[in-house]
Amino acid sequence: MQTNRRIIHIDMDCFYAAVEMREHPELAGQAIAVGGASGRGVLTTCNYPAREYGVRSAMPVFKAKQLCPQLVILPVRFELYREASRNIRQIFKHYTELVEPLSLDEAYLDVSHHKRRGAELAEEIRAAIYAETGLTASAGIGPNKLIAKIASDWNKPNGQCVVSPSRVAAFMQDLPVRRIWGVGPKSAARLIEMGVETCGQLQAHEKAELASEFGSFGLELHQLCRGIDERPVEANRIRKSLSNEHTFAKNIETLEDCEAALRRQHHELLEDLRSSAADRQIAKILVKLKFSDFRRTTAEIACRQAELDTYLKLLREAWGRSGEPVRLLGIGVRFAETQSGPEQLELAL
């Protein structure tokens, strides 16, 4: 494992809701959520007071209201969040050109070239974000993306965690396998049947055994449970596609609820297309589902318009391929290769 990298993962704290809290100081201390206001809508995110009632992102509004009747639901304002995100990314650029945004509210930073300690840099970056935007961020610092991303969730909100190369083995030993990206309820249940609940226990299983049980994902698990991740931080990749996807805290059981989630994501996709890819010609549109048993399927069609009705048809096609609940929903577009566009992060479906 390469250990000379220093990677910082910055993750903004309940970003959309935090921006709205900043804009609405009169709501201080109240439970706030952002998303569809109608009973058939779903929440995009919520603040920490709302989470204390069990409210979560992607939750239907009617259920959130049942859990927290006093919940204040505010409409989504993507341009406001993008403006805050642009300001935050400008701060990142003061420290490194190797910035890989994952979404509006999180990014990897490779600060390996700095002589200063990663923890010191992360503290300074978080302080600068607060001074510039009034928003708090959490950070993870480690020798690779995997470790940094897990660590950024360790001391949320408004905290940070450092995992040095010498601590990786100990850090992974007792880490629940559920903390590894890609391990959901179904695969976690299968691992429990194998007597595996921690990464240390998973390390006792041979690569061939994991491949037999989980396919190609088993090979990834063999590396990830040891804290091995050689992916570089990649900045300024030419965008070939644009997408958004959401992994649900609780699997979606019905097509109707999946359609409601798709409508929310479609609105966000259109906003992204208008703001960052208005000059690109669409060649295909697609819908991706990951089911609770971890199988994936993609439905796509050659199309020049990202219309909601077409996405809904693709969703129904993909949904019909499995009887399992849905863990992840992604929608996106692929651009025509003959068109050139601005250098942006490619959000791969």
Residue 251 domain flag? yes
Are both 47 and 75 inside the same structural domain?
yes
- Length, in residues, of the chain: 349
Q: Look at residues 171, 186, 202 and tell me which one is the last residue of a structural domain.
A: 171
Counting the structural domains of the chain, the total is 3
Nearest to 203 by CA among 236, 174, 181: 174
Same domain, yes or no, for 106 and 195? no
**CATH number of 97's domain:** 3.30.70.270
Average pLDDT, rounded, for the chain: 88
The tokens describing 316, both together, are 């129904």
268 is catalytic: no
Q: In angstroms, rounded to a whole number, what is the distance separating the alpha carbons of residues 37 and 274?
A: 23
Cα–Cα distance between 45 and 73 in angstroms, integer? 10
* In a shared domain, residues 253 and 116: no
- Phi/psi for 241 (5° steps) reads -150, 165
pLDDT, tens digit, for every residue of 8-60? Answer: 999 999 999 999 999 999 999 999 999 876 555 778 889 999 999 999 887 88
- Same domain? For 122 and 78 the reply is yes
100 with 153, same domain? yes
In-domain check, residue 341: no
Of 142, 171, 200, which residue is a domain's last? 171
Spatial distance between the Cα atoms of 50 and 122, rounded to a whole number of angstroms: 28
315 and 260: one domain? yes
Residue 322 lies in a domain: yes
Between CA 10 and CA 130 the distance in angstroms is 13
**Nearest-angstrom CA–CA distance, 163 and 196:** 23
Claim to verify: residue 18 and residue 154 sit in the same structural domain: yes
- How open is the CA angle 309-314-318, to the nearest 5 degrees? 150
Catalytic residue among 106, 220, 259, 300: 106
Helix ranges (DSSP H) in 42-98? 48-51, 61-67, 78-93
Tell me, yes or no, whether 235 lies in a domain.
no
* Per-residue tens of pLDDT for the chain, all 349 residues: 455 789 999 999 999 999 999 999 999 999 999 987 655 577 888 999 999 999 988 788 888 999 999 999 999 888 899 899 999 999 999 999 999 988 889 999 999 999 999 999 999 999 999 999 999 999 999 999 999 999 999 999 999 999 999 999 999 999 999 898 778 777 888 899 999 999 999 999 999 999 998 888 899 999 999 999 988 998 865 567 888 888 887 889 999 999 999 998 898 888 778 766 766 789 999 999 999 887 889 999 998 899 999 999 999 999 999 878 998 999 999 988 743 333 333 333 2
In the chain, the amino acid numbered 120 is E
SS3 184: coil
Q: Which residues constitute the domain of residue 192?
A: 174-224
- 66 shares its domain with 188: no
Residue 182 sits in the same domain as residue 267: no
Contact criterion met (CB below 8 Å) for 171 and 227: yes
In sequence order, what DSSP letters do the residues of 30-47 get, joined into one string?
Answer: S-EEEE--STT-BEEEE-
